Structure 1
Amino acid sequence: MTAPGAATAQPRSTRRQALLLTGATLAAFAALVSLGTWQVHRLAWKEDLIARVETRVHAAPAALPAPDTWAGLTAEEIEYRPVRLSGTFDHSREVHVFIALGEPKGPLGGQGYFVLTPLALDGFDRVVFVNRGFVPLDRKDPATRPDGQVAGTVAVTGLMRPAEGRNWLSPADDVARNVWFVRDPAAMAAATGLDPAKVAPFTVDEAAGETPGGLPQGGETVVAFPNSHLGYAITWYGLAAALVGVWAVRMRALLRSRR
């Protein structure tokens, strides 16, 4: 025979469990739906960015922004902006940035270097590091590609790129061996004996077909934007739906226990 107090306590305990379960489920459900919705917004932002960049990279090149505007340029204003500029290369100060070029537009790819050479601008006491393109590991030494060491005034067209930031995955640059992993114009200027105050806070990726002899291999700008936001959104929304299913099963079990 069950005591009257015990019969009353069991429904109260069941109700308490149901309320706690429902409250925790609602909180988790709201968090999961919020994460999914955030990824949907990120997807719209990324698709808009990709469309803008695709339009920008195929636009006609304009004159390089004047040096007195450089400090005020944002990364968004710089990224993939087609420009033209002229000046004289200082090949004695070229910098080599390691790259594993998986999908080259030219005939050469794999491990190698982007060759960044300071270009002294015509008419200005300023310098821009120009990424002249890709060379394989065994063509790092400029002596192996003499035709590409053009002298005198040259005209360059290409895409502006903001300085790259360093993160915890970035290997340390080996300045002694002239092997770099991050395109930081200020650091490259200091390492090559240039005045960082006179060096542009961005680089320019030279277009293809502008280098005699074919090396460095220009036109190898990597335009890639990972876009996994739709998959992430589906995952978060799926987890929210699964959570509702788990809640329903648990609630059914609690209701049965009251009988």
Structure 2
Amino acid sequence: MRRTAFFLIFGLGGAAILISLGVWQIQRLAWKEGVIADIDARIAADPVPLPADPDPVRDAYLPVTATGTPGDAYLRVLVSQKQIGAGYRIIRALRTDGGSVLLDQGFLPADATIDAMTPDAELTVVGNLQWPQETDSFTPAPDLAENIWFARDVPAMADALGTRPILVVQREAPETPGAITPLPVDTAAIPNDHLQYAITWFSLAAIWMAMTVFFLRRPTARPTQG
């Protein structure tokens, strides 16, 4: 009787904990899907003129139009695209009436060359504001000699190009055709693994219960008589 009670308490208690963790992950999944849906709606909204003083929290993903003159200098951020391979994000300064901002023009294959910008040519860009969090303690410092950056570090890139720490990520094709392909802002990089976590916890709960039943049905060894 004591053995049965022990396995029942141990088995049901452990299964309850594992199931509660699975339910919590389902709740987190619903929350994360709501967050992603909200961001998707913000990204796809109609663009507005670039605010005079955008806020990194309030205006994250805000669709904007910006008109200005792109600078000749550019930064290359190392990235990779499926079915294409390695290449670079091209970051330029865009000189607007409200001051210079960073412009992420998009992807340039590693073996392609950049078309020369027409001097003093005004450009109207449709894109989204973004302050990406791509750097950490493991991110290498940029190779300034080769003009290769390993992440979009908005403050550092702004210092390098002499702009405000504001990044507009172009989402439509450039007015002047060239080798650069826009990489619009999306939610693909936002992690959402809560369903997999929930399945894992529920699977562990099922295994836990199966092992409990196994031990409950396992016959008790009887002592041998001498």
TM bucket, shorter chain? 0.7 to 0.9
Report the 3-state secondary structure (helix = DSSP H, G, I; strand = E; otherwise coil) of the residue aligned with 1:85: strand
Structure 2 match to 1:129: 102
In the aligned structure 2, how far is the partner of 1:78 from the partner of 1:221?
Answer: 14
User: Which one is further off, 18-27 or 214-223?
Assistant: 18-27
**1:16-27 mapped onto 2 (5 Å cutoff):** 18=4, 20-27=6-13
Q: Do residues 188 (structure 1) and 157 (structure 2) align? A: yes
Name which of 94, 97, 111 aligns with 2:77. Answer: 97
Q: Could you say if the C-alpha distance between residues 136 and 234 of structure 1 is closer, same or farther in structure 2, counting changes exceeding 3 Å?
A: same
Structure 2: how far apart are the matches of 1:149 and 1:117? Answer: 14
TM-score by length of 1: 0.73
Verify: 1:209 aligned to 2:189, yes or no.
no
Q: How far apart, CA to CA, are the structure 2 residues paired with 1:31 and 1:168? A: 36
Find the residue that maps to 1:139 and give its secondary structure: coil
Normalising by structure 2, we get a TM-score of 0.82
Deviations 1:30-71 (A, max 9, x none): 43223212221221123223322332332210122222x43x
Cα distance in 2 for residues equivalent to 1:187 and 1:229? 34
Question: Which protein shows a greater Rg?
Answer: 1
Q: Does 1:41 align with 2:27?
A: yes
Q: Is 1:116 paired with 2:70? A: no
Q: How does 1:42-81 map to 2 (within 5 A)?
A: 42-67=28-53, 69-70=54-55, 73-74=56-57, 77-81=58-62
Counterpart residue type for residue 82 of structure 1:
P
Structure 2: runs of 5+ lacking an equivalent: none
Please, which runs of 5 or more residues in structure 1 have no aligned partner?
1-10, 104-108
Q: Which amino acid aligns with 1:218?
A: P
Contact preservation (8 Å) 1:39, 1:233:
yes
Q: 1:149 to 1:174 in 2, by over 3 A?
A: farther
Match for 1:60: what amino acid? D
Name the residue aligned to 2:206.
241
Q: Secondary structure at the match of 1:204?
A: strand
Q: Is the 8 A contact 2:123 2:175 kept in 1?
A: no
- Check the 8 A contact 1:209/1:218 in 2, yes or no: yes
Deviation at 1:237, TM superposition (A): 0.8
Work out the CA distance in 2 between the residues paired with 1:99 and 1:149. 26
CA distance in 1, matches of 2:138, 2:12: 38
**Alignment RMSD, CA only?**
2.8
CA distances 1:92-146 after superposition (whole Å, capped 9, x unpaired): 2x1111111127xxxxx43111101111221x2x332110111111235x4xx22
Q: What amino acid sits opposite 1:118 in the alignment?
A: A
Instruction: List aligned pairs for 1:171-186, cutoff 5 A.
Output: 171-186=140-155
State the SS of the aligned residue for 1:163: coil
Give the conservation status (yes or no) of the 8 Å contact 1:120–1:127: yes
Return closer, same or farther for 1:30/1:59 CA change in 2, 3 Å cut-off.
same
- The answer to whether the Cα contact below 8 Å between 1:78 and 1:162 also exists between their aligned partners in 2 is no
From the two aligned structures, give the one with the greater helix fraction: 1
Instruction: Give the equivalent residue in structure 2 for 1:3.
Output: none
**Residue identity (%):** 32
- Size of the alignment, in residue pairs? 222
In the alignment, the residues of structure 2 paired with residue 253 and residue 206 of structure 1 have an alpha-carbon distance, to the nearest angstrom, of 66
**Aligned partners of 1:128 and 1:208: how far apart in 2?**
18
